[in-house]
Amino acid sequence: MNFFQCRKWPNLAQNKKNIYQRLYNVTYRSLSSLLPSICSQVLFNDNNILSPYISPKDPHTSEERQAKINTICNVTERFCTGTLQQYSSFNDCQQFLRTQIPYGSYGRADQRNVICRFVHTYFVPLLPSIHCPHVGPTRRGACTDKTIDFYYNQPNFLACAHRQ
């Protein structure tokens, strides 16, 4: 299930909680299934070749990166309005995401970077009051840089950062 499938869901307004729960479960299940293989690998193998488990789906070209930035700005502009507005304009959004924060990778998708905001764009249409701040410059509880100690001190580090 992805953002575009949710837009076609019948009775979107009445089913937001159900859709959100399904998206969260899919995300949680995906991450949970990746962790054992990622944790069992070292960053580099015996031949000093980067492990195939290190963010293989990260965008590699500037076009792919710009497409993700455009998605964030489009979703933010459409769903984060009124008191939930995050950027003064589409161009302001692009400028911030291109110059003020690192791009990041899916391996660091909970950190202060563009990829973290991209992940949260999936949830913005479903619960704008919670997730609009996550895609904006203030982040309000999500997309913050964390040390490794943060994870060891959390009983459930796969939970939504907003709830922690």
**Is residue 18 classed as helix, strand or coil in its secondary structure?**
helix
Closest CA to 98 of 128, 137, 125: 137
What's the number of CA atoms in the CB half-sphere (13 Å) around residue 102?
11
Can you give the pLDDT at residue 108? 82
DSSP 107: G
**Is residue 118 classed as helix, strand or coil in its secondary structure?**
helix
Can you give the pLDDT at residue 16? 66
Can you give the pLDDT at residue 14? 65
DSSP 136: S
Walking along the chain (164 residues) 10 residues at a time, the average pLDDT comes out as 50 64 59 45 46 56 90 94 96 96 85 91 91 87 77 62 50
